[in-house]
Amino acid sequence: MEKKQIAVIHGPNLNMLGAREPGTYGATSLSEINESLRRKAKKNNAEVQIFQSNHEGEIVEAIQRASGNCHALIINPAAYTHTSVALRDALLLLDVPVIEIHISNIYKREAFRHKSMIADVVTGQISGLGSAGYLLAMDAAVEMIGA
């Protein structure tokens, strides 16, 4: 049986999780989140490709590479959530489930964080459940693609 491919893209500053504003983002590092995602994918007979960048263009290119090469995409665009039409346009290339994830509840933070530029083009959004939100996103992706 062919394993389903799930792409995970982490945006800017997420490489600093665990050290960056732990009161807002928790103490879990990105490498710990990634390892949890790998374990969950393996348990569900899926494979996960994980990418992180602090550069908008590199994230756009990662989305473009995912087009036609994955069965689902989980993305935490971080600060680009609120500013990037380029990420939104790239996501329109995908014809697979796309789950937007945020560690903090963007709707309980500064007003400028309340608007997601990609909310209307993703399948669903998870916000405010800490690093556990990534595992919930993986569960949802697996369910949607039947992995």
Residues identified as active-site: 25, 102
Cα distance between residue 31 and residue 126, in whole Å: 20
Q: What is the DSSP string of 62-83?
A: HHHHHTTT-SEEEEE-GGGGGT
Q: Is the Cβ–Cβ distance between 99 and 74 less than 8 Å?
A: yes
